[in-house]
Amino acid sequence: MPKFFVDSEQVDNGEIKIIGNDVNHIKNVLRMKVGDTFQVCDNSNSENFLVKISKYDNENIFCEILEKYEDNSESNIKVHIFQGLPKADKMELIIQKSVELGVNKITPVEMKRCVVKLDGKDRVKKVDRWQKIAEVAAKQSGRDIIPEICSVKNISQISENFEEYDLVLLCYENEKDLLLKDVLKSDEIIAKSKECNGNTDFKIAIIIGPEGGIDISEVEYMSNKGAKVISLGNRILRTETVALSLLSIIMYEFERNEN
């Protein structure tokens, strides 16, 4: 069943008003009519509704709320990906698939070996486009939130907030000793994950380099700030593969199934 996101001001006294691009999608792509039903999520508080179209005009679709229901699509594992800026098509793939797999936030990061360079105007346009890709992926995968695509940051800026996370993983192809599985199976991390309950999230940051990898000076800087430098194994993965691989592993290891 299709799912759409609204803001709280669109929900009023048993009715939800659909506005913007979703109106065209519902009317002209899905070809829904008065009486058809679909799901709506209030993006402000993750409340879910089953609604029925009651009327529409050229700019709005008015829906009657049939029921409010609980959904468990969001994970207790809050993963924030710090992605070294890759080429545009790769970033779009990373965002789309990461949202499907349950990412909470993605921050594009300027690194020394980034081929892509964005100026002020390009940054805003790119982030806006990436946010739209995240929204479409969230709708498709039945998420209760639209993961945030943050503004472009640098290494210094992202390192300031490492203490906010229970675990910060820095993926580095030249690391030989510390494997991802060693960290995830360590007593410290297992204990932290078990401390999480219905009211506590397990917060993990993942730092991924661009096509050219992460410079050793950046690795040393972030390591000194608290990041755990890890190896993903004997094979070197493309940058667009790393996020998807780690998200899958982390969700498998720590996510609770509440259904």
* Each residue's pLDDT tens digit, 18-49: 998 899 889 889 999 998 999 999 887 888 89
- Cβ 123 vs Cβ 151: under 8 Å: yes
- The distance in angstroms from the start CA to the end CA of the chain is 18
Q: What is the mean pLDDT of residues 57-69?
A: 89
What is the spatial distance between Cα 63 and Cα 50, in angstroms, rounded to a whole number? Answer: 9
Question: Are residues 87 and 22 part of one domain?
Answer: no
Compute the mean pLDDT over every residue in the chain, rounded to the nearest whole number: 90
C-alpha span between 8 and 46 (Å, rounded): 10
pTM for this entry: 0.86
**Is residue 96 scored above 80 in pLDDT?**
yes
Stronger pLDDT, 106 or 258, i.e. the higher one: 106
**What is the distance between the alpha carbons of residues 40 and 17, in angstroms, rounded to a whole number?**
10
Asked whether residue 109 falls in the same domain as residue 36, the answer is: no
Confidence category of residue 198, pLDDT binned at 50, 70, 90: low
* Residue 236 reports pLDDT greater than 90: no
> Which residue, 110, 112, 111, is CA-closest to 120?
110
Sign of the CA dihedral with 163 first, then 168, 173, and 177 last: positive
CA atoms within 13 A on the CB side of 197: 2
Token pair recorded at residue 176:
């030989």
Residue 122 shares a structural domain with residue 10: no
Q: Is 209 exposed, middle or buried (0-12, 13-18, 19+ CB in 10 A)?
A: buried
Is the same domain home to 220 and 185?
Answer: yes
Q: Which domain holds residue 226?
A: 77-254
State whether 114 and 197 are in the same domain.
yes
**For residue 190, how many other CB atoms are within 10 A of its CB?**
13
Say whether both 138 and 54 belong to one domain.
Answer: no
133 and 245: one domain?
Answer: yes
